[in-house]
Amino acid sequence: MTLVSFVLGLTLLIVGAEFLVRGAAKLALTFGISPLVVGLTVVAFGTGSPEVAVSMQSALSGQVDLAVANVVGSNMFNVLFILGVSAMITPLLVDRQLIRQEIPIMVGTSLLLAAMAWDGAISRVDGLILTALLAAYTVFLIVQSRRFGAKPEDGTEDLPGAGSDWDSTVPVQAVLIVGGLALLIVGAQRLVGAAIAFATYLGVSEMIIGLTIVAAGTSLPEVATSVMAAIRGQRDIAVGNVVGSNIFNILGVLGLSAAIIPGGLVVAPALLAFDIPAMVAVAIACLPIFFTGNLIARWEGAVFFGLYIAYTVYLILAAKQHDALSTYSFVLGTVVLPLCALTIAVIAWREWQSRHPTS
C-alpha cells in the first residue's frame, strides 16, 4: 500500500504540474506576456511545482530534513542526470543569455543557500529574503523582455499546449490552474507520507529518501520537458528548463518553505558537510562546460550522468554504513572528482586560449 500511495502521489504531482503549466502559460499569453518570460518563469517554475508542494508539505508536517533534502537532491538530479541524459541523446546548445546571465545567477543562488545554511538553519528571515529575490528576478525578466522588444506571438510554438484551442479561454485556463494546484496538494500529501514510510521500512533517514527517491520523483516534469526538447531538436529549451528550475528551487521552494515556518528550516549536518557543497560544486562546474563552444557534448553528458550514479552509490553506502564506504569515498575524492575537475579546467583553458590568442 505504501508503494501504491507513492506512485499515486507521484502521478498526481505530474498531472497537476502539467495542468498548472498549461493553464498558466496560456493565461500569460492571453494577457500578452512574452513567451520568453513565460518560458523562464511559468514553465520553469511550473515544472518545479512538485518540489514546492512536497517541501512545503514536509515543512508543515515537521519533516524538515525531507523539505531541504528534496531541493538539494533535485538540483543535483536536474544538472547531472537530466542534462547528462539529454546531452547523450543529442549535444545541447547553450544560449548566450544563459551563459552570461542565468547560469551565473544559478551559481550565485547556490552560494547564497550555502551561506544561509552555514549556521545550521535557513531562518524565516532567510526565507523571506529568498522569496523577495525570486520576485525581483521575475520582474527583472519581464523588464528585460520588454526592453528587447519581444513580441507576444514570438516563440509560442515551444510552450505547453501550443496549437491547441480548447484551452484558449480564460475560464478553462483558470480551471486548469486551480485543478492543477489541487492535484499538487493531494499528491504531495500522498508522496510525503509514503516517503516517511519508506524511510522507516528501509531503516534510512528521511534525508536520504529526500535526496534520492523524492528528489528524482519530483523532478520528473523536468525530465520529460528536457528530454523531449532534446529529442525534438529544441536543445536550448532543454538547458534553459533545468537552469530556471534550479533557480526556482532555491529561491521559491526553500524560500516559501522557510517563510511559512516560524522557526525556519533546520539543516542537517550531513547536508552541510557534503550534499550542499556538492550542489554548489556542480553548479560551478556548469560554467566551464557550458562556456566551451556554447555546447554540452555527448561525452560531457556522459560525465554528468556518471557523476550522478557515483553520487547515488555514495548516498546508499553512507546510509547503510557499508564496509566499502571508506574505500569508495577515498577513490571518489582523490581520483575521480579531481580528474573530472582537471579535465574540465584544461578544456576551459584551451577554449579561452582559442578565443583570446596572444598577439
Q: Which residue has the cell 493531494?
A: 186
pLDDT attached to residue 154: 46
Q: Which residue has the cell 550522478?
A: 308
* Cα–Cα dist 145/341, whole Å: 36
The CATH architecture annotation of domain 2-355 reads Up-down Bundle (1.20)
The closest alpha carbon to 75, from 308, 319, 340, belongs to: 308
Give the residues across from 266 on adjacent strands. 121
Q: Is 245 exposed, middle or buried (0-12, 13-18, 19+ CB in 10 A)?
A: buried
pLDDT in tens, 109-118: 999 999 999 9
How many CB atoms sit inside 10 A of residue 343's CB? Answer: 14
pLDDT attached to residue 116: 94
Q: Dump strand ranges (E) for the chain.
A: 92-93, 121-122, 265-266, 295-296
Q: pTM score, two decimals? A: 0.78
* Cα–Cα dist 299/190, whole Å: 38
pLDDT attached to residue 131: 93
Q: What interhelical angle do 235-248 and 220-231 show, nearest 10?
A: 160
The closest alpha carbon to 315, from 220, 215, 193, belongs to: 215
| Inter-residue contact 223 to 82 (CB < 8 Å) | yes
pLDDT beneath 70: ranges in the chain: 25, 28-29, 31-44, 145-167, 188, 225, 229, 232-237, 289-293, 344, 347-348, 350-359
- Radius of gyration of the chain from its Cα atoms, rounded to whole angstroms: 20
| Inter-residue contact 92 to 235 (CB < 8 Å) | yes
Q: Is 153 exposed, middle or buried (0-12, 13-18, 19+ CB in 10 A)?
A: exposed
Which positions ≥6 away from 60 have C-beta within 8 Å?
260, 261
Which positions ≥6 away from 66 have C-beta within 8 Å?
54, 55, 58, 192, 195, 196, 206, 207, 209, 210, 214
pLDDT attached to residue 156: 46
Q: Which three cell numbers stand for residue 322?
A: 557499508
Q: Which three cell numbers stand for residue 345?
A: 579546467
pLDDT attached to residue 152: 46
Indicate if the alpha-carbon torsion angle 291, 292, 298, 300 is positive or negative.
negative
Which positions ≥6 away from 183 have C-beta within 8 Å?
12, 13, 15, 16, 19
pLDDT attached to residue 112: 95
The closest alpha carbon to 157, from 78, 229, 244, 227, belongs to: 229
* Domain extents in the chain: 2-355
